Amino acid sequence: MKILGIETTCDETAAGVVEDGRILSNVVSSQIRLHRRFHGVVPELAARAHLQRIAEVVESALEGRKVDAVAFARGPGLMGPLLVGKMAALAAAESLGCPAVAVNHLEGHVFAAELCGKLRYPLVTLIVSGGHTDLLLCRAPGRYRLLGRTRDDAAGEAYDKVARMLGRGYPGGPVIDRLARRGDPRAVAFARPMLPGTWDFSFAGIKTAMLYHLRDLKRAPSRREVADLCASFQEAVVETLVRKTIAAALHFRVKQVVVGGGVAANGRLRQAFSEAAQKHGISIQIPPPILCTDNGVMLAQAASHRLRRGRVGRSLRCDPGLGFENWGA
Ligand code: KG4
Ligand code: ZN
Confirm whether 326 is domain-assigned: no
Confirm whether 325 is domain-assigned: no
Q: How far apart are CA 148 and CA 281, in angstroms?
A: 23
Confirm whether 179 is domain-assigned: yes
Regarding the beta carbon of 77 and ligand 1, being less than 6 Å apart is answered: no
Tell whether 105 and 165 lie within a shared domain.
no
Confirm whether 327 is domain-assigned: no
Give the confidence band of 324 by pLDDT, cuts at 50, 70, 90: very low
Q: How far apart are CA 121 and CA 232, in angstroms?
A: 34
The amino acid that residue 191 corresponds to is A
Tell whether 150 and 297 lie within a shared domain.
no
Give the confidence band of 232 by pLDDT, cuts at 50, 70, 90: very high
Query: Ligand 2 mean position to 184 CA, how many Å?
Result: 29
Tell whether 20 and 97 lie within a shared domain.
yes
Say whether pLDDT at 99 is over 50: yes
Q: How far apart are CA 303 and CA 48, in angstroms?
A: 26
Tell me the per-residue pLDDT of 166-175, one tens digit each, with 9 for 90 and over.
999 889 999 9
Q: What stretches of the chain show up as alpha helix (H) in DSSP?
A: 32-36, 43-62, 79-96, 105-111, 155-165, 172-180, 204-217, 223-251, 267-280, 289-292, 297-309, 312-317
Tell whether 235 and 313 lie within a shared domain.
no
Instruction: Mark 59-90 as b/e (b = at least 16 C-beta within 10 Å).
Output: eebbeeeebebbbbbbbbbbebbbbbbbbbbe
pTM, whole model, 2 decimals? 0.94
Say whether pLDDT at 210 is over 60: yes
Confirm whether 237 is domain-assigned: yes
Tell me the per-residue pLDDT of 2-35, one tens digit each, with 9 for 90 and over.
999 999 999 999 999 999 999 999 999 999 999 9
The pLDDT value given to residue 248:
98
Q: How far apart are CA 230 and CA 138, in angstroms?
A: 33
Tell whether 156 and 269 lie within a shared domain.
yes
Average pLDDT of 310-318? 51
Tell whether 211 and 132 lie within a shared domain.
yes
For ligand 1, pick from 206, 241, 263, 298 the residue to mutate: most ligand atoms within 8 Å of CB: 263
The pLDDT value given to residue 308:
87
Confirm whether 253 is domain-assigned: yes
Q: Out of 61-65, 101-105, 305-309, which region has the weakest mean confidence (pLDDT)?
A: 305-309
Query: Ligand 2 mean position to 222 CA, how many Å?
Result: 33
Domains of the chain: total: 2
What domain range includes position 74?
Answer: 2-111+291-319
Return the CATH number at 145: 3.30.420.40
- For the CA of 154, the closest atom of ligand 1 is 12
- Answer whether 14's CB lies under 8 Å from 49's CB: no
- For the CA of 267, the closest atom of ligand 1 is 26
Regarding the beta carbon of 262 and ligand 1, being less than 6 Å apart is answered: yes
Tell whether 201 and 247 lie within a shared domain.
yes
- Answer whether 259's CB lies under 8 Å from 126's CB: yes
Beta-bridge partners for 18: 3, 23
Nearest CA to ligand 1 atom 16: 262
Q: How far apart are CA 150 and CA 128, in angstroms?
A: 10
Confirm whether 324 is domain-assigned: no
Tell whether 93 and 189 lie within a shared domain.
no
Tell whether 146 and 276 lie within a shared domain.
yes
